[in-house]
A and B are shown apart, each in its own frame.
Chain A
């Protein structure tokens, strides 16, 4: 099921770090999924409150805006772990061995540089909305019921930091591939798209009675 990714596990230090990180990533992804579910619950509360008791949920929109970053950011590293962020693999799909690991190393390194810069930028974004001396430490708030925005803004640099750890693990894996030439642990292996799809289909099996 969800764990059956094509990431090689070989008991090496790198592989153990990969699995440790995966444990954190799974928890964060589950939080993201539960946040999606909470959107549904929130709508039910809002609609029934309005129609049954004429008391609409105050700040319904504000709460949705607070939940969205949870959904958008918490699963980002989990998705990167098995190569779930989409790309065009017409070219990469044809590479093999050291050439492949080198290509992967370069694109992953560029992604890491981007994410490190974005940790800086999104932290600055958080920092502008945070003030030790303000009530609730808030220097920016939602439009209706003035919820502080800094916790939601903080999620971006936090999630990006986990992602940057993941990218470092993958970089080390690719480096090992370049040196050793074999299939390294800790990186998503270049499965055919069909294999990927088969796995996707596994998630919707077993309930079609």
Chain B
């Protein structure tokens, strides 16, 4: 079997588990089962689920926040202030949600099967000018943040602003936004780190969730041997991903020091205030909305929080 895989951008840590998966599969099956990974040639990033549903390719990566209505169950993972601190915890909560019947059904509408997460660190913000080192200073601050994270900042008086990732640097330079919320690798890729005076080290407002899915029919058509090879390769690919991202995080610390970027650390009290203002109301709203759509929202949320607790034991 040769599977086509649709991802976007350039090869980077974010796609390293898929590249590794191909390596392991090729080796395990003596080249009988390989992945042909295309960076943007097969689909645009917001239409990868459509492509899976059509059957145009067998595997794809996407982010839940790109299209909330396509995958409502996964958006639980993008709620603000869940409390995830590490990539390992992010993997644990993602896998727990992916394993629920609700998520399987949700993705089943697209003929898709969740394979593995692409865990992203928390979207901490870089900013220019005077650091927002207390909650009061968020008042009137223009922040580039989307979805739930954007809503969270709004609750403390900040102004979320629509700018595409590629325009983020420009927007920051031009003062269209004062701050940008990204994962570290994106702060590198979109050069927002070059503009930074400060970075919120422990705000941890939330992140986006970007799973890798496979086309269900294509999976069913695999031989048992190839199915097993694929499933055995996943944990190994994830380990590789985590090791690669750890390198980015090391590099990040180095760059902060080199560019003399101030690390802003919030007191537990401030964080608690932020959570009270943002986390609870947005979560309650989410649960109410999703329940109204007939989704077991509370259950999904509880599953996620239990997985987080369990991962810390």
A54→B69 contact, CB < 8 A: no
Whether B140 lies near A146 (C-beta < 8 A) is: no
Contact B66 A143 (CB under 8 A): yes
Name the distance in Å between A150's Cβ and chain B's nearest Cβ: 10
* B8 to A: closest C-beta gap in Å: 14
Evaluate contact between B67 and A141: CB separation under 8 angstroms: yes
A50→B176 contact, CB < 8 A: yes
Check B114 for interface membership: any CB of A closer than 8 A: no
Q: How far apart sit A143 and B148, CA to CA, in the bound complex (Å)?
A: 11
A59 (CB) vs chain B CBs: closest residue: B162
- Does B159 lie within 8 Å of A56, measured CB to CB? yes
Chain A residue contacts of B66, Cβ below 8 A? 143
Beta-carbon nearest neighbor of B142 in chain A: A56
Query: Which of these, A54, A62, A128, A140, contacts B140 with CB under 8 Å?
Result: A54
What's the A-B contact tally at a CB cutoff of 8 Å? 56
Asked whether any CB of chain B lies closer than 8 Å to the CB of A61, the reply is: yes
Is A11 in the interface zone, CB < 8 Å from B? no
The answer to whether A62 and B162 touch across the interface, beta carbons within 8 angstroms, is yes
B248 CB within 8 Å of chain A? no
Contact of A125 among B50, B150, B159, B289 (CB under 8 A): B50
Q: Which residues 102-142 of A have a CB within 8 angstroms of B? A: 124-125, 128-129, 134-135, 138-141
Q: Is B162 in contact with A128, judged by CB distance below 8 angstroms? A: no
A56-B159, A143-B147, A144-B146 are known contacts. Are A61 and B69 too (CB-CB below 8 A)?
no
In the assembled complex, the Cα of A56 lies from the Cα of B65 at a distance in Å of 21
Q: B164 in the interface, Cβ–Cβ < 8 Å? A: yes
Which range contains the number of A residues in contact with the other chain?
A: 20 to 34
Task: Determine the residue in chain B with the shortest Cβ distance to A139.
Answer: B69
Complex: chain B residue closest to A57, CB-CB: B162
Q: Which of B54, B159, B164, B292 makes the CB contact (< 8 A) with A55?
A: B159
A140 nearest CB across to chain B (Å)? 5
State whether the Cβ of B30 lies closer than 8 Å to any Cβ in chain A. no
B53 touches A128 (CB 8 A): yes
CB < 8 Å neighbour of A134 from B46, B69, B147: B69
Q: Which residues of B contact A57 (CB under 8 A)?
A: 162
Quote the shortest CB–CB distance from A181 to chain B (angstroms). Answer: 46
Distance in angstroms from A59 CB to nearest chain B CB is 6
Query: B70 near A: Cβ within 8 Å?
Result: yes
* B102 beta carbon closer than 8 Å to chain A: no
- Please provide the chain B residues from 142 to 170 with a CB less than 8 Å away from any CB of chain A in the complex: 142, 146-147, 150, 159-164
Q: Which residues of A contact B289 (CB under 8 A)?
A: 135
Per-position binary interface string of chain A over residues 17-50, scored 1 when its CB falls under 8 Å from any chain B CB and 0 otherwise: 0000000000000000000000000000000001
B309 interface hit (Cβ, 8 Å): no
With A125-B50, A134-B293 as contacts: A141 and B69 at CB distance below 8 Å: yes
B161's nearest neighbour on chain A, judged by CB, is: A56
* B146:A140 contact, CB within 8 angstroms: no
- A54-111 CB contacts (< 8 Å) to partner B: 54-62
**A37 CA to B137 CA in the complex, in Å?**
38
Q: A55-B159, A58-B162, A61-B164 are in contact. Are A143 and B65 (CB under 8 A)?
A: yes
**What is the bound-complex CA distance between A144 and B164, given in angstroms?**
10
Is B12 an interface residue when CB atoms closer than 8 A count as contact? Answer: no
Whether B273 sits at the interface, judged by CB under 8 Å, is: no
Decide yes or no whether A148 CB sits under 8 A from chain B.
yes
Task: Let me know if A144 and B69 touch, CB within 8 A.
Answer: no
Q: Which residues of B contact A138 (CB under 8 A)?
A: 69
Q: Is A139's CB under 8 angstroms from B70's CB?
A: yes
Q: Which residues of A contact B65 (CB under 8 A)?
A: 143
> Which residues on B sit within 8 Å (CB–CB) of A134?
69, 293
> What separation, in Å, do the CA atoms of A148 and B67 have in the docked complex?
10
Q: Which residues of A contact B227 (CB under 8 A)?
A: none
**B residues within 8 Å of A by Cβ?**
46, 50, 53-54, 65-70, 140, 142, 146-147, 150, 159-164, 176, 289, 292-293
* The 8 nearest A-B residue pairs measured at CB: A61-B162, A141-B69, A144-B162, A138-B69, A60-B162, A56-B161, A140-B67, A139-B69
Interface, chain A (partner B; CB < 8 A)? 50, 54-62, 124-125, 128-129, 134-135, 138-141, 143-146, 148
* 18 A-B contact pairs sorted by A residue (CB < 8 Å): A54-B140, A54-B142, A54-B159, A56-B161, A58-B160, A60-B161, A60-B162, A61-B163, A135-B289, A135-B293, A138-B69, A141-B67, A143-B65, A143-B67, A143-B146, A143-B147, A144-B150, A148-B69
Q: A135-B289, A143-B147, A144-B146 are in contact. List 9 more A-B contacts (CB 8 A).
A: A54-B159, A56-B161, A56-B176, A62-B162, A125-B50, A134-B69, A135-B293, A141-B69, A143-B46
